């Protein structure tokens, strides 16, 4: 298992983890975002689903030859 992380990167990961755990307890809570801003992730996700479900509009004109 040794060799995946150097000591420097392991220390950086530990410091990042500690900051993620401690900072929410120290910082004041943020006010909620305005309601229209809450719809942005929903719109992005729905566009991605529509793009994933829609097929190609044209059949590609590609010739494949094997040697």
Asked if residue 67 is part of any domain, the answer here is no
For 29, counting Cβ atoms within 10 Å of its Cβ (0-12 exposed, 13-18 middle, 19+ buried), the class is: exposed
Average pLDDT of the segment spanning 11-15: 96
The number of domains in the chain is 1
> Is 60 within the bounds of a domain?
no
Is the backbone of residue 30 left (phi > 0), alpha (psi -120 to 50) or beta? beta
Q: What predicted TM-score, i.e. pTM, was given to this entire model? A: 0.46
54: helix, strand or coil: coil
The residue range of the domain holding 27 is: 7-50
pLDDT digits (tens, 9 = 90+) for 15-49: 999 999 999 999 998 899 899 999 999 999 999 99
């Amino acid at each position: 298992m040794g060799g995946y992380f150097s000591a420097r990167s392991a220390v950086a990961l530990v410091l990042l983890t500690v900051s993620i755990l401690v900072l929410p307890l120290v910082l004041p809570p943020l006010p909620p975002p305005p309601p229209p801003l809450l719809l942005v992730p929903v719109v992005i996700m729905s566009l991605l689903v529509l793009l994933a479900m829609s097929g190609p509009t044209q059949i590609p004109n590609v010739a494949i030859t094997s040697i």
